[in-house]
């Protein structure tokens, strides 16, 4: 198909049990910027039950929202079923740009959609822009964050996944109006996923925490992790961790901060015994205030820290905990 057939920016709004993932609001904010440059409309698509609050996508900037409805077939995260429905819609409305959140599900779904459409996909973008040719420039880190690759697709639609917390959420305006279009779902015969039981040992979301206290391989065992947990609790925050600590089995991957974990932007980030590998720094460098505790004065983490404490965290953290308790009393 020729380029002129494609118009508009489409944002995939991921949902779980009717709750829309906040990355969709971030993508709508960035999508509006792209639309202003392209002089086109901002669209969103959500797949799920009829009672999803799709008006929220309008309030966040969407001019049109396509709601592909079905109570049952979208109740499980089946990429094949989602892809079939998305591909049909994309072929019908022909957006020039399609944006997905780089969540666990988005990273699995977007490549399937791109493959069926025979178009390109850039994963884990950190920025997006429009060049002089009105093409999408997809920017992502490469070579352990040492360079930023600028990628341009030849085919349409131009597709990208963007990591959570890269952009600010779109401003919410309840006075904004938009068109909500109901779409009948395709009841695929290729369902591959059946959820027998959902098991969760933890209920954490470090990406949304205002305070994150992270531990690295300076923590020797699970018992020692308790002082990190206590400090996080006192500050009303969550416990994070480096990839190296996760790989020891001391803490679960749900706590991992970094390029292969969660990206966080808390008001306060405290790195305890973390050396500061590029992959970790990529996930926390935009925090409001960064405090680093490490006994190695040459640790790379100090290069991004606002406050640096050189010393033994096994002495410093208990003293910090005691000082906070005394202050509260």
Of the candidates 293, 288, 287, 324, the one whose C-alpha atom is nearest the C-alpha of residue 309 is 293
Query: How far apart (Å, rounded) are the C-alpha atoms in residues 7 and 28?
Result: 16
**What are 209-235's pLDDT values in tens digits?**
999 999 999 998 999 999 999 999 999
Look at residue 2 in the predicted model and tell me its pLDDT: 47
pLDDT band at 276 (very low <50, low <70, confident <90, very high): very high
Mean pLDDT across the chain, nearest whole number? 92
Query: How far apart (Å, rounded) are the C-alpha atoms in residues 106 and 113?
Result: 10
3-state secondary structure of 85: helix
Residue 97 has pLDDT above 50, yes or no: yes
Residue 28 CB partners (closer than 8 Å, separation 6+)? 11, 42, 44, 57, 60, 61, 62, 170
Of the candidates 277, 264, 268, 258, the one whose C-alpha atom is nearest the C-alpha of residue 306 is 268
**What are 21-45's pLDDT values in tens digits?**
999 999 999 999 999 999 999 999 9
Do 258 and 279 contact (CB within 8 A), yes or no? yes
Residue 103 Ramachandran class (φ > 0 left, ψ -120 to 50 alpha, else beta):
beta
pTM: predicted TM-score of the whole model, two decimal places: 0.84
Query: How far apart (Å, rounded) are the C-alpha atoms in residues 215 and 319?
Result: 17
Please tell us whether the domain made up of 3-184 is placed in CATH 3.40.50.620: yes
206-328 architecture in CATH? Answer: 3-Layer(aba) Sandwich (3.40)
Where is average pLDDT lowest: 40-49, 138-147, 231-240, 252-261?
Answer: 138-147
Do 240 and 212 contact (CB within 8 A), yes or no? yes
**What are 145-166's pLDDT values in tens digits?**
678 899 999 899 999 999 998 9
**What are 67-83's pLDDT values in tens digits?**
999 878 888 888 999 99
Q: Which helix (H) or strand (E) holds 322?
A: helix 313-328
- Compute how many other C-beta atoms are within 10 angstroms of the C-beta atom of residue 304: 18
Residue 281, classified by CB atoms within 10 Å of its CB into exposed (0-12), middle (13-18) or buried (19+), is buried
Question: How far is C-alpha 28 from the geometric centre of its chain's CA atoms?
Answer: 13
Of the candidates 238, 233, 230, the one whose C-alpha atom is nearest the C-alpha of residue 257 is 238
Q: Please check whether the two domains, 3-184 and 206-328, share a CATH topology.
A: yes
Each domain of the chain, given as residue ranges in start order, spans 3-184, 206-328
Average pLDDT of span 115-127: 95
Look at residue 190 in the predicted model and tell me its pLDDT: 66
Residue 3 has pLDDT above 80, yes or no: no
């Amino acid at each position: 198909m020729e380029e002129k057939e494609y118009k508009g920016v489409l944002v995939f709004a991921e949902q779980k049990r009717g709750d829309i993932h906040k990355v969709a609001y971030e993508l709508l904010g960035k999508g509006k910027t792209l639309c202003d440059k392209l002089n086109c409309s901002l669209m969103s698509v959500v797949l799920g039950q009829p009672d999803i609050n799709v008006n929220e996508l309008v309030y966040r900037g969407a001019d049109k929202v396509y709601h592909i409805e079905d109570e049952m077939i979208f109740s499980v995260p089946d990429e094949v079923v989602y892809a079939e429905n998305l591909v049909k819609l994309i072929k019908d409305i022909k957006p020039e740009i399609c944006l997905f959140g780089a969540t666990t599900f988005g990273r699995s779904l977007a490549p399937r959609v791109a493959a069926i459409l025979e178009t390109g996909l850039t994963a884990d973008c950190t920025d997006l822009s429009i060049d002089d040719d009105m093409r999408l420039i997809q920017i992502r880190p490469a070579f352990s964050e040492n360079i930023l690759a600028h990628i341009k697709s030849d085919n349409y639609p131009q597709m990208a996944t963007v990591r959570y917390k890269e952009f600010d959420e779109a401003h919410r305006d309840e006075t904004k109006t938009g068109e909500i279009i109901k779409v009948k779902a395709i009841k695929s015969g290729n369902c591959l996923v059946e959820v027998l039981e959902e098991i969760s040992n933890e209920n954490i979301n470090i990406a949304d925490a205002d305070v994150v206290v992270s531990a690295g391989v300076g923590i020797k065992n699970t018992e020692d992790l308790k002082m990190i947990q206590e400090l996080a609790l006192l500050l009303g925050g969550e416990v994070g961790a480096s990839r190296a600590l996760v790989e020891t089995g001391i803490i679960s991957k749900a706590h991992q901060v970094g390029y292969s974990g969660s990206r966080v932007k808390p008001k306060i980030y405290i790195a305890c015994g973390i050396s500061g590998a590029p992959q970790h720094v990529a996930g926390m460098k935009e925090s409001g205030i960064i405090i680093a505790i490490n006994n190695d004065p040459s640790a790379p983490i100090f290069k991004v820290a606002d406050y640096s404490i050189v010393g033994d965290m096994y002495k410093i953290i208990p003293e910090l905990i005691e000082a906070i308790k005394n202050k509260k009393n």
